[in-house]
């Protein structure tokens, strides 16, 4: 059945249709803005890509240039190394030839040295044999000398024993026991070697000034050769001591020094106007002052 639309409904329908068209066109306008934005972004990205490509191209050109330079440098170094190897090979060949000559020289020199060493050993053996023979002679001579010395030592010991037997103790003119008295030079040497006391020899002549011996002085006053007697003065500690008409080998005793120590004078020979003997002092007696 055909339905007839009233005019009001027709107007309403037209208004609704017009509203829908306006809404459609209003939706179309925002979509175009988005497209423009996207197109701008794409353009910017394209420009950036072109700039990056340009940068990469420049970078690639620089790398290729450096690579080319490195290749050329490698070629130069390879050529230099080849030259060095050739020089080294030539030097090695020359050195090998020289070593061969040197080796022969070394062998010849070694043989010569061995020959010289053998000759030196032979000379050394002969010299050692001669020295050994000389040493045996010297040893034999030394042995003979030692035997002779031993004989002399034994003889000396016997003489010392005889000398000691001949020595005797005596009483001094002060009544004190004296030590051993020497009557001659041999006995005096024995006493000196004993080391018990100091022994100083002297010779006095009549008319001479006092003779300084150790820390004292002695002066001969007179001598009687016939009766082997004499008189002398002893100067000690600023005092004069007269020993009158004394016998040969008689110990003349007196004290001297501070503290006082016993000194002895023994006269072994009495001649005309001259006497000889010795002064005996303790080991710790003061020594004379030498100016």
Q: What is the average pLDDT across 33-61?
A: 87
198 and 173 part of one domain? yes
Peptide bond into 259 cis (omega under 30): yes
272 and 186 part of one domain? yes
Quickly tell me which residue has 């110990």 as its tokens. 251
110 and 100 part of one domain? yes
Residues 6+ apart with CB under 8 A from 196: 179, 283
Domain boundary among 113, 135, 166: 166
231 and 197 part of one domain? yes
> What is the token pair recorded at 78?
């390879």
Asked if the structure places residue 32 within a domain, the reply is: no
Asked if the structure places residue 213 within a domain, the reply is: yes
Asked if the structure places residue 129 within a domain, the reply is: yes
Looking up residue 214, the CATH number of its domain turns out to be 2.60.98
Asked if the structure places residue 6 within a domain, the reply is: no
Domain that holds residue 262: 168-281
Domain boundary among 139, 166, 193: 166
Asked if the structure places residue 133 within a domain, the reply is: yes
Among the listed residues 206, 194, 200, 216, the one whose alpha carbon sits nearest the alpha carbon of residue 266: 200
Distance CA 35, CA 43 (A): 12
Q: What is the average pLDDT across 139-149?
A: 68
**For the chain, how many structural domains are there in total?**
2
Instruction: Give tens-digit pLDDT for 220-258.
Output: 999 999 999 999 999 999 999 999 999 999 999 999 988
275 and 251 part of one domain? yes
Reply yes or no on whether the pLDDT at 74 is more than 60: yes
Asked if the structure places residue 191 within a domain, the reply is: yes
Domain boundary among 141, 166, 191: 166
Enter the pTM of the model: 0.44
Instruction: Give tens-digit pLDDT for 12-31.
Output: 566 656 555 555 545 445 56
162 and 240 part of one domain? no
Distance CA 55, CA 137 (A): 111
Asked if the structure places residue 74 within a domain, the reply is: no
């Amino acid at each position: 059945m055909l339905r007839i639309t009233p005019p009001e409904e027709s107007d309403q329908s037209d208004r609704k249709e017009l509203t829908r068209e306006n809404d459609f066109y209003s939706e179309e306008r925002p979509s175009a803005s988005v497209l423009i934005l996207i197109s701008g972004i794409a353009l910017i990205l394209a420009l950036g890509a072109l700039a990056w490509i340009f940068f990469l191209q420049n970078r690639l050109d620089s790398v290729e240039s450096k690579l080319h330079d490195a290749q050329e440098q490698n070629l130069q170094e390879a050529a230099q190394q080849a030259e060095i190897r050739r020089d080294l090979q030539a030097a090695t060949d020359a050195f090998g030839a020289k070593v061969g000559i040197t080796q022969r020289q070394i062998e010849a020199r070694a043989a010569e040295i061995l020959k010289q060493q053998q000759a030196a050993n032979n000379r050394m053996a002969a010299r050692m044999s001669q020295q050994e023979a000389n040493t045996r002679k010297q040893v034999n001579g030394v042995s003979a000398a030692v035997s002779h010395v031993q004989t002399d030592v034994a003889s000396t010991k016997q003489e010392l024993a005889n000398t000691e037997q001949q020595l005797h103790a005596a009483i001094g003119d002060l009544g004190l026991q004296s030590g051993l008295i020497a009557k001659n030079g041999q006995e005096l040497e024995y006493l000196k070697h004993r080391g018990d006391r100091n022994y100083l020899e002297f010779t006095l002549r009549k008319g001479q000034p006092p003779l300084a011996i150790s820390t004292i002085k002695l002066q001969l006053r007179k001598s009687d050769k016939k009766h082997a007697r004499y008189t002398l003065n002893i100067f000690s500690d600023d005092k004069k001591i007269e020993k009158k008409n004394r016998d040969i080998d008689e110990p003349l005793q007196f004290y001297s020094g501070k503290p006082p120590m016993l000194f002895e004078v023994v006269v072994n020979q009495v001649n005309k106007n001259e006497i000889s003997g010795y002064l005996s002092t303790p080991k710790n007696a003061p020594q004379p002052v030498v100016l």
